[in-house]
């Protein structure tokens, strides 16, 4: 059975790369993994039908390759088979350029402006804005392009563009532009960016985010701050902060968001943690227990609701 799975993975991935252009991808890297989440959710912020124990997961089959010296062409395809029987695409992109600049087209994610270390399970009881609305991986035939310029000395600039038809914007979730400036030098990483566009037809979103991380060696600290406005009719202000740390396989974090509403605001506070444990000393196999606890308080009504969740994730990379 194990050999059959590997054969299917290799055959499917190779076919996908041939569709993009076999001459440029002569020796693809092929991989597959299975991820299974067992999650229990409770609390007033959880819909009645979503409370209790549930199970979700997927098998991912991926292939990637890069060819060229001064100029290069790269590509990746990642297909997923979900536990509910549906099929999907995680990544599917082509990238072309040089060491000084490149263009990327397809389905992918741009730079994360609100990363949270060890985020196996982070369930917010309310909205926490992270300046990632236009980050990518949109549905259907949405156009996504990203141009990147590498200035050297760890400094780079990327400009993302998401565009779609008016008929597709509701299903795709958004369209607009997203420039991000990044700096990486040794243990230090900094990113700053803005986004501006629509998250639904006639509803605008704009905002900015700043994130930084420092690796002390065995201990990595990440801090985020974001602010923005959503909905052109009411121009509701949003702000959020996040702080997370990873120590080996342990991840811990905190995130807080404030969202304006008529006459007041809602405040969301979330704490979470996860710990990845090797499984039976088998290469590529792990089990990750994780928890998330979140509360949202409405300043107008004075009512607080919460969501508490626990998850055990099993992962095996073939």
Residues 93 and 118 in one domain: no
Please give the pLDDT value at position 26.
55
> Which of 98, 120, 135 corresponds to the end of one domain?
98
Contact present, 128 and 268 (Cβ < 8 Å) = yes
Residues 121 and 197 in one domain: yes
Residue 159 falls within a domain, yes or no?
Answer: yes
List per-residue pLDDT tens for the chain, 318 residues long: 444 444 434 444 444 444 444 444 457 899 999 999 999 999 999 999 999 999 999 999 999 999 998 999 999 999 999 999 999 999 999 999 999 999 999 999 999 999 999 999 999 999 999 999 999 988 778 899 999 999 999 999 999 999 987 666 555 557 899 999 999 999 999 999 999 998 777 778 899 999 999 999 989 999 999 999 987 556 689 999 999 999 999 999 999 999 998 889 999 999 999 999 999 999 999 999 999 999 999 999 999 999 999 999 999 998
Please give the pLDDT value at position 1.
41
Residue 316 falls within a domain, yes or no?
Answer: no
Residue 263 falls within a domain, yes or no?
Answer: yes
pTM: 0.87
Q: How far apart are CA 98 and CA 120, in angstroms?
A: 34
Residues 54 and 125 in one domain: no
Residues 178 and 256 in one domain: yes
Residue 104 falls within a domain, yes or no?
Answer: no
Residue 266 falls within a domain, yes or no?
Answer: yes
> Which of 98, 130, 148 corresponds to the end of one domain?
98
Q: How far apart are CA 253 and CA 258, in angstroms?
A: 17
Residues 162 and 237 in one domain: yes
Cβ-based neighbour number of residue 283 at 10 Å: 8
Q: What angle do CA 240, 245, 248 make, to 5 degrees?
A: 155
Please give the pLDDT value at position 173.
58
Residue 318 falls within a domain, yes or no?
Answer: no
Residues 42 and 178 in one domain: no
Residue 317 falls within a domain, yes or no?
Answer: no
Look at the chain and report how many structural domains it folds into.
Answer: 2
Please give the pLDDT value at position 57.
97
Residue 217 falls within a domain, yes or no?
Answer: yes
Residues 154 and 292 in one domain: yes
Residues 74 and 136 in one domain: no
Residues 55 and 130 in one domain: no
Residues 302 and 166 in one domain: yes
Residues 187 and 141 in one domain: yes
User: Could you tell me the CATH number of the domain that includes residue 269?
Assistant: 2.40.160.10
Query: CA-CA distances (angstroms) from residue 58 to 12, 86, 125, 148, 296?
Result: 16, 9, 25, 31, 31
Residues 143 and 185 in one domain: yes
Full residue range of the structural domain in which residue 10 is found: 1-98
> Which of 66, 98, 130 corresponds to the end of one domain?
98
Task: Tell me the sheet residues that pair with 160.
Answer: 146, 178
The H or E element that residue 18 is part of is helix 2-21
């Amino acid at each position: 059975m194990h050999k059959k799975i590997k054969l299917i993975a290799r055959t499917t991935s190779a076919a996908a790369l041939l569709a993009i252009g076999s001459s440029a991808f002569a020796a693809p890297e092929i991989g597959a993994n299975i991820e299974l989440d067992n999650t229990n959710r409770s609390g007033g912020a959880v819909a009645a039908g979503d409370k209790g124990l549930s199970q979700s997961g997927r098998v991912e089959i991926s292939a990637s390759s890069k060819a060229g010296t001064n100029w290069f062409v790269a590509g990746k395809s990642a297909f997923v088979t979900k536990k509910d029987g549906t099929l999907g695409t995680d990544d599917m992109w082509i990238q072309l350029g040089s060491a000084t600049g490149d263009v990327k087209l397809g389905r992918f994610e741009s730079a994360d402006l609100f990363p949270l270390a060890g985020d196996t399970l982070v369930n917010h009881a309310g909205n926490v804005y992270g300046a990632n609305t236009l980050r990518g991986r949109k549905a259907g035939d949405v156009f996504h392009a990203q141009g990147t310029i590498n200035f050297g000395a760890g400094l780079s600039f990327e400009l993302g563009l998401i565009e779609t038809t008016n008929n597709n914007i509701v299903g795709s979730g958004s369209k607009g532009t997203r420039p991000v400036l990044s700096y990486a030098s040794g243990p230090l990483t900094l990113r700053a960016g803005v986004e501006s566009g629509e998250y639904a037809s006639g509803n605008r979103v704009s905002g900015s985010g700043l994130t930084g991380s420092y690796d002390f060696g065995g201990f990595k600290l990440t801090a985020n701050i974001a602010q923005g406005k959503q909905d052109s009719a009411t121009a509701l202000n949003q702000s959020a902060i996040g702080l997370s740390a990873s120590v080996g396989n342990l991840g811990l974090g905190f995130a807080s968001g404030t969202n304006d509403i008529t006459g007041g605001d809602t405040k969301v506070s979330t704490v979470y943690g996860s710990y990845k444990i090797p499984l039976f000393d088998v290469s590529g196999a792990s089990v990750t227990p994780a928890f998330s606890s979140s509360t949202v308080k409405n300043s107008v009504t004075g009512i607080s609701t919460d969501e508490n969740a626990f998850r055990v994730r099993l992962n095996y990379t073939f």
